[in-house]
Copies of this chain bind each other. A is one copy, B any other.
Amino acid sequence: MDILDKSERKTLLAPLLENDWSMVDGRDAIGKTFHFKTFRHAFAWMTQSALWAEKMDHHPEWANTYNEVSVVLQTHSAGGLTMLDIKLATRMDAARHPA
């Protein structure tokens, strides 16, 4: 999996950065903090995201405290952002919507 090139960053990464994702300081990685009504909502969303992650064999770094989940995405084997991160970020955003 290749690191995103300049053109891909403009077309694929930019829309995420306008949707509350941001570059992680000092790393070629993106992060976002998700807020939910309750722990139950947060953990159900984590479960749906975990199922995607396992299907893609691409897993997040994430931390949960009650109704908040902070996510960092990077393709460790590539040492930076790849299409896998774009795809997982998009899926995580979509998983907030109704079932």
Q: Which residues of A contact B (CB under 8 A)?
A: 36-37, 39-48, 50-55, 57, 59-66, 95-99
In the complex, are the beta carbons of B95 and A98 less than 8 A apart? no
A20 to B44, CA, bound (A): 23
In the complex, are the beta carbons of B63 and A62 less than 8 A apart? yes
Per assembly, the copies of the chain total 4
Q: What are the residues of chain B within 8 A of A51 when measuring CB–CB?
A: 39-40, 43-44, 50-51, 54
Q: What are the residues of chain B within 8 A of A98 when measuring CB–CB?
A: 96-98
Given the contacts A51-B54, A61-B63, A63-B61, A99 and B41 also touching, CB distance less than 8 Å? yes
Listed by A's residue number, 28 A-B pairs whose Cβ atoms lie within 8 Å are A36-B99, A39-B50, A39-B51, A39-B53, A39-B59, A40-B48, A40-B51, A40-B54, A41-B48, A42-B99, A44-B45, A44-B95, A51-B51, A52-B54, A54-B54, A54-B55, A55-B57, A59-B66, A60-B64, A61-B63, A61-B64, A61-B65, A62-B63, A62-B64, A63-B63, A63-B64, A96-B98, A97-B98
